[in-house]
Amino acid sequence: MRFITKYLSLAALSGLLLTSFVANAGDHGHDEATAKSTIVEIAVGNPDFSTLVAALQAAGLVEALSGEGPFTVFAPTNAAFAALPAGTLDDLLKPENKDTLSAVLTYHVVPGKVMAADVVKLTEATSLQGDTIAVSATDAGVKVDAANVTATDISASNGVIHVIDAVILPNS
């Protein structure tokens, strides 16, 4: 638990150093300051993604998702990570489980910049991890696997973020 607290503190401190993040989901895709930030910088600057940032750090993926991209990230919130079975996150964050954590996190990433208008036309997408993510759009909203997309089109300099309410898990 101290491991998580340490990384959450670092994430919070880093967030103070970044430009402001638009909290209104309806404006995410239209904020010019946000679009100049990378996916990781946006995540660090949003307290709802502090667990995701800690996981990215533990998996050694910060540099990769700060790269040129473009990437589409289906980003689970802190509440999504908290909904995992008890002990799951703590186990994933252990150094000996780095490969498993990396696989879970890269399953949330699709190569290319796939905006919401394009996501709703898909039935599946291949993740960076290699497995296929099921995508479904109905009048009730968009789902990726069993997760609901709760905010869309948070533009970054190296891609786009869509917020989801659950951690999705690869098949392999």
CATH code for the domain in which residue 15 is found: 2.30.180.10
**What's the number of domains the chain is made of?**
1
pLDDT-based confidence at residue 35 (cuts at 50, 70, 90): low
Which pair of structure tokens corresponds to residue 22?
A: 């638009």
- In a domain, residue 172? The reply is no
pLDDT-based confidence at residue 120 (cuts at 50, 70, 90): confident
As a whole number, mean pLDDT of residues 20-39 equals 50
Question: Over 80: is that where the pLDDT of 36 sits?
Answer: yes
The residue with greater pLDDT, 99 or 5, is: 99
The reported pLDDT for the residue numbered 32 is: 47
- In a domain, residue 169? The reply is no
- In a domain, residue 42? The reply is yes
Q: Which H or E run includes 104?
A: helix 98-106
> Distance between CA atoms of 114 and 31, rounded to whole angstroms?
18
**Which residues span the domain enclosing 46?**
2-164
Give the C-alpha distances (Å, rounded to integers) separating 137 from 122, 124, 127, 144.
8, 11, 18, 9
With a pLDDT cut of 90, the percent of the chain lying above it is: 75
Which pair of structure tokens corresponds to residue 90?
A: 């703590």
Q: What is the pLDDT of residues 41-59, one digit of tens each?
A: 999 999 999 999 999 999 9
Identify which of 119, 124, 118, 113 has the alpha carbon closest to the alpha carbon of residue 155. Answer: 113
